A = this chain, B = another copy of it.
Amino acid sequence: MKHHLLTPGPVPIPTFVQEAIAQPVIHHRTAAFHELYRDLLEKMRYLFQTKEELGLAMGSGTYGVEMAMYSLFKPGSEVLVLENGKFSERWKSYGRTMNLSVRPMTKSWGQGFQPKEVLEMVKKLPSLKGVVITHCETSTGNLLDLEEISLALRQERPELLLLVDGITTIGAVPFYLDAWGIDLAITASQKALMNPAGTFLFAMSERAFQEMPEPHPGDFRHLKTYAQQARNAAFPFTAPVQLMYGLKAALDQVTGQGLPHIWQQVHHTARTFRQGIKDLGGHMLAEQPSDSLTAFSFPKTDHEKLRGRLTDQHGFELSGGQGELKGHLLRISHMGSSADPDLMQAVLEAIKKEIRS
Interface residues of A (CB under 8 A from B): 3, 5, 7, 9-13, 18, 21-22, 24-30, 58-63, 66, 90, 93-94, 96-97, 188, 190, 196-199, 216-221, 237-243, 317, 319
Enumerate chain B residues within 8 angstroms of A97, measured Cβ to Cβ.
216, 218-219
Q: A26-B5, A27-B317, A319-B27 are in contact. Are A197 and B13 (CB under 8 A)?
A: no
Enumerate chain B residues within 8 angstroms of A27, measured Cβ to Cβ.
5, 7, 10, 317, 319
Residue of B nearest to A7 (CB): B27
- Cα distance, A3 to B21, chains bound together (Å): 18
Enumerate chain B residues within 8 angstroms of A188, measured Cβ to Cβ.
238
Nearest 7 Cβ contacts at the A-B interface: A196-B242, A97-B216, A60-B238, A90-B218, A18-B22, A198-B198, A198-B240
Enumerate chain B residues within 8 angstroms of A94, measured Cβ to Cβ.
216, 218-219
Evaluate contact between B196 and A62: CB separation under 8 angstroms.
no
Enumerate chain B residues within 8 angstroms of A319, measured Cβ to Cβ.
27, 29
Enumerate chain B residues within 8 angstroms of A96, measured Cβ to Cβ.
216
Enumerate chain B residues within 8 angstroms of A93, measured Cβ to Cβ.
216-218
Enumerate chain B residues within 8 angstroms of A239, measured Cβ to Cβ.
197
- Cα distance, A216 to B90, chains bound together (Å): 10
Measured CB to CB, the closest approach of chain B to A199, in angstroms, equals 7
Q: A5-B26, A13-B25, A90-B218 are in contact. Are A237 and B196 (CB under 8 A)?
A: no
Which residue of A21, A220, A237 has the most chain B CB atoms within 10 A of its CB atom? A220
Enumerate chain B residues within 8 angstroms of A242, measured Cβ to Cβ.
13, 21, 196-198
Measured CB to CB, the closest approach of chain B to A314, in angstroms, equals 16
Contact of A58 among B22, B26, B59, B218 (CB under 8 A): B59
